[in-house]
Amino acid sequence: GENVEQHPSTLSVQEGDSAVIKCTYSDSASNYFPWYKQELGKRPQLIIDIRSNVGEKKDQRIAVTLNKTAKHFSLHITETQPEDSAVYFCAARVNAGKSTFGDGTTLTVKP
């Protein structure tokens, strides 16, 4: 089955700096890659996603890149703010099936 690895497990940055979180996946059939933000005690919320026919997608300060050949994808957050502090999860999916999640990255943005 699918296996998703996520790095780093913790990331601390200064406010205004950029943060990068990387994931690799094993199943070449995976074609949908969402990223979720989960604040303490809250449900995961989708922040950005990318499909396998696209190499990069941006939404304001957030961008995701996908390298299908290498089977890895990354989340980039620019101009980080304290409210970006949360746990971020990547996931991989084949069409509408189950999502396989990474173990999460705890991002701390220091003011």
Partner 1 sequence: GAGVSQSPSNKVTEKGKDVELRCDPISGHTALYWYRQSLGQGLEFLIYFQGNSAPDKSGLPSDRFSAERTGGSVSTLTIQRTQQEDSAVYLCASSLWGRTSTYEQYFGPGTRLTVT
User: Does 27 contact partner 1 by CB under 8 A?
Assistant: no
- Report the residue from 51, 58, 61, 110 that binds partner 1 according to the rule CB under 8 A: 51
- Report, in Å, the least distance between residue 67 CB and partner 1: 19
Rounded CA-CA distance 103/56 in Å is 23
Select the span of 20-28, 38-46, 64-72, 75-83 touching partner 1 (CB under 8 A). 38-46
- Is 9 within 8 Å of 104 (Cβ atoms)? yes
- Is 109 within 8 Å of 80 (Cβ atoms)? yes
CA-wise closest residue to 48 among 38, 62, 65, 68: 62
Select the span of 17-25, 62-70, 77-85, 89-97 touching partner 1 (CB under 8 A). 89-97
